[in-house]
Structure 1
């Protein structure tokens, strides 16, 4: 223990030196105390966020259950590749391929007989055709909750004089020589991509119904459907890029690394029109990385207003004519996390001010674009000006590097982007709409666990784009896919837009 000096024995210069030394020690201790408090606040903030979020397993290696899903993904990819190759080489004669023997459909299933007869039974030579037999093929159909069989009966009509044979054709289908109808294929896709049921689970459901349909066959059907539906998704993307205002967001998806039994992080990018747009659509884009080039490729040639978060991958597009619209919900979230961590009064005040902006937006929801812009200029803009001054004032009072400083800096650095919505009644205040469109992927990850390849991820993104866009337009996605896959094989490519979700209407309502 240090003995304190005898102040009476010190002269004036020594007293001044001692006072300066004590002041320096006190300042140093105060500095260390502030730094320690800063560190504590930061750690509390991070701990609160960690407790509110769920993280995956520390190891990305595939377990036995995950590995069981790989077969169906590979099977679907193979079927898709074969279908694409068939389309590319359909003009070249191909050797006959032996078809595997198919098990008959269970006789106890209800059957709907569909007869295909010629439009007339008069031969070109003038004779009356005589029916000499028929060809019968069966296809498995599905309506929600019920399996049925479509029995297609094609009468054979012959002319005795010229020995000709006449039969009515069966309308082409997505899988011409297979047993599934468009209804069964629609059910398969909805169960896999909307209800998140992997094919091995669907295989069990089919088995309980007495249908011996293997997982590899189901995977082949999925792959062929993905190829057939891709032109629709391409057309949907083209129409989406006609919108002046779009949302964008991205979320990680585990993807199997080629040749390895481990996954790496791939990404689903989502682009959608605003909730107030006349055409409601969302298009997903699957990519192996999160690099900004993915967004630039998807949005190539588009110059509008993009609502997004502060991810750097979008920044290059803002130098190429795209206007950045900030997300007020992200700014609010910074203060919410701060308040949840340590009940910060500054964060609480910020949340109250931002809440007033959202109260105005609720009033503006049913207004026209022009009326909404006028309301924002009259009420939101003065409130935003007050919020900006409030942020500036409190930023000067908090320590650099603190959680409070970071929350305030996020808003101040993006202030121009965050407030642009006031100048356009067609621009939303936040990016929540696209985050809602990302949610089905987050729900599905716990079921299908990973994408087996780049192709399977792209196929999932394409089919999910149609399913989610159908939902946005108020359609039953099963009814939509069923009718679209009925019409697609005979539909003109130049009129593909008629089958897009925002243009489609159920046949009964046309």
Structure 2
């Protein structure tokens, strides 16, 4: 009966979500495929996304073998941006005379070989001696001009802070390993020192940059927003409590000034995006989370646009519970094919200007969306 059918569909979908691959694809090779990694949707087959179904097929299915030419001068090109130290190895005139006789030799072009040389990092101490002067008459004192400390009361310099940040956040090296690495250089700093520096630098310097980028984001007509759960230790709650990292970013239409801002919050409450977007007027592309639509109802200057990736997911889930022999007859399959066509045509417009893209969308894509 209907209830039993619904339960079977839920079981099939639950098994797919638990044991199946976290990808969404149709058997058609032209389908743009999606995968989910740590809750984030990633696109991994650009070739399928930009292909043209109307392009003529080759006369033969045998692939043409293309012989790639060996790159010439690649090693020299790789070294072109590095400082070069010339090291000469020449024979003395006495050695040449002994080998060839008096005036029995001529100089040929040098044989040149190049080798990479790595210079390990080193730690030095900059000891600032600041002149202090006092008046002989009234006793007042003055100091010579000198650079301000990066952090008051701390010996950390900009170069050391940059090294810690690069190691921790770019190279993903834990602080305890950085502590060991610096100790091998003769510098005894603890992971607690480095953790404190990162927090203080974030509060005193990076927060200013963050606020500036936040204000710049308001000037973009289209932005994107999403939130993903994270686990944080020792935040005053019980172990395993779920927090959220909210992400706001500019779209691909602003390639020269990309902005991506992360905001950590303990909850998924509507208050957080309401506060972050309070001065923003424009279009915000999101998933189907109802909080964003609540904000849209509260304001006339904010438009929430849906995400096609999240929209198609429900149809992909619906298709998963349909027997394979009947899938191509289902409404979910037809809708997925329609969305596939929209993606393919949209991919052809990505290099156009905003005005040209809008014009082409009205002609080529709007009828497909209306048909859905």
Where on the TM-score scale, by shorter chain, does this alignment land: which range? 0.5 to 0.7
- The answer as to 2:244 corresponding to 1:267 is yes
Which residue in the other structure is 1:376 paired with? 361
- The 3 A distance-change label for structure 1 pair 339 and 201 is farther
- The answer as to 2:6 corresponding to 1:38 is yes
* Cα distance per residue 1:484-508 (max 9 Å; x no partner): xxxxxxxxxxxxxxxxxxxxxxxxx
Query: How does the TM-score come out when normalised to structure 2?
Result: 0.64
Alignment of 1:10-409 (within 5 A): 32=1, 34-51=2-19, 52=21, 146-154=121-129, 156=131, 168-228=144-204, 229-256=206-233, 258-259=235-236, 262-277=239-254, 279-319=257-297, 320-321=299-300, 322-340=302-320, 343=324, 344-345=327-328, 346=330, 347-386=332-371, 388=372
Which residue in the other structure is 1:425 paired with? none
CA contact (8 A) 2:132 2:143 kept: yes
CA contact (8 A) 1:48 1:341 kept: no
* In 2: Cα distance, 1:145 partner to 1:245 partner: 46
Q: How many Å apart are 1:258 and its aligned residue? A: 4.9
Q: How many Å apart are 1:352 and its aligned residue? A: 2.4
The alignment of Structure 1 onto Structure 2 pairs a total of residues equal to: 269
Q: How many Å apart are 1:333 and its aligned residue? A: 2.2
Which residue in the other structure is 1:394 paired with? none
Q: Tell me the SS of whatever aligns to 1:148.
A: coil
- The 3 A distance-change label for structure 1 pair 379 and 145 is farther
* In 2: Cα distance, 1:374 partner to 1:315 partner: 27
CA RMSD of aligned residues (A): 3.2
Q: Tell me the SS of whatever aligns to 2:16.
A: helix
Which residue in the other structure is 1:422 paired with? none
* In 2: Cα distance, 1:41 partner to 1:263 partner: 31
Q: How many Å apart are 1:296 and its aligned residue? A: 0.5
CA contact (8 A) 2:232 2:241 kept: yes
Structure that is richer in helix per residue: 1
* Cα distance per residue 1:155-190 (max 9 Å; x no partner): 759899999998643311322543322122122223
CA contact (8 A) 1:293 1:313 kept: no
Q: Tell me the SS of whatever aligns to 1:249.
A: strand
Which residue in the other structure is 1:64 paired with? none
Unaligned stretches of 5+ in structure 2?
Answer: 23-35, 39-118
* Cα distance per residue 1:350-391 (max 9 Å; x no partner): 3322121111121111101111011111111122233x1xxx
Q: How many Å apart are 1:349 and its aligned residue? A: 3.3
Unaligned stretches of 5+ in structure 1?
Answer: 1-31, 57-143, 389-510
Query: How does the TM-score come out when normalised to structure 1?
Result: 0.47
CA contact (8 A) 2:132 2:144 kept: no
Higher relative contact order (CA 8 A, sep 6+): 1
* In 2: Cα distance, 1:153 partner to 1:330 partner: 58
- The 3 A distance-change label for structure 1 pair 350 and 151 is same
